Amino acid sequence: MKEKPIRVTVLTRKELDDVIYSKSTGDLKKRFRPSEEGGVFKYFYARDVWVNINRDLDKEIFFPVVKEGGKIVAIAKIQKSPYEENLFWANYICVDPKYQGRGHATRLVREILQFAKDHGVAIKNSFYTKEGELKMKKIWARLVPEYGVEFREDAI
């Protein structure tokens, strides 16, 4: 079986909005719905994309994504802190359960850290869930030194 190409990129709210809604019906695609409605991304909420989309927030909220074969299989949210000029919050990292164990969370962390390096900002990680602490804390600890950016963790 041929492996599907993997692409990692950072999308603006408008770019993600264009992906998560069906062009034919205008409805939110099932995989991007809340998990209790069949969505695959546990912490992703479409309202983060479209609430006040017409305001000038595209410089404040971004969505790093991993695409496998053109399909978004992992997503994160980073948001400019309203309290500190050169700080972004890493709000969440979600991987479609069918695609877990393939290194996609690591790819997202790398993309977030590269974003921070390119923009000269620090990253502050949100609170960990129990699952997130088990999986993500080690990834952050391993990758942060490679990028030379300031990283802050919230207390658990």
Mean pLDDT, the chain, rounded, equals: 87
58 found inside a domain: yes
63 found inside a domain: yes
DSSP state of 103: S
Residue range(s) defining the domain that contains residue 59: 6-147
155 found inside a domain: no
67 found inside a domain: yes
156 found inside a domain: no
Query: Three-state SS for 129?
Result: coil
Q: What is the pLDDT of residue 156?
A: 43
pTM value?
A: 0.89
54 found inside a domain: yes
146 or 155: which leads in pLDDT: 146
CA–CA dist 125, 121 (Å, integer): 13
Q: What percent of the chain has pLDDT over 90?
A: 58
Q: What phi and psi values does residue 87 have, to the nearest 5 degrees? A: -135, 135
Q: How many folded domains does the chain comprise?
A: 1
152 found inside a domain: no
- Count Cβ atoms within 10 A of the Cβ of residue 49 and give its class: 0-12 exposed, 13-18 middle, 19 or more buried: buried
Q: What is the pLDDT of residue 2?
A: 67
CATH of the domain at 78: 3.40.630.30
Is it the case that residue 96 has pLDDT exceeding 80?
yes
Q: Is the Cβ–Cβ distance between 123 and 152 less than 8 Å?
A: yes
CA–CA dist 93, 28 (Å, integer): 20
pLDDT 10s digits, 27-85 = 899 999 998 999 999 989 888 887 555 555 556 889 999 999 889 999 999 999 988 98
104 found inside a domain: yes
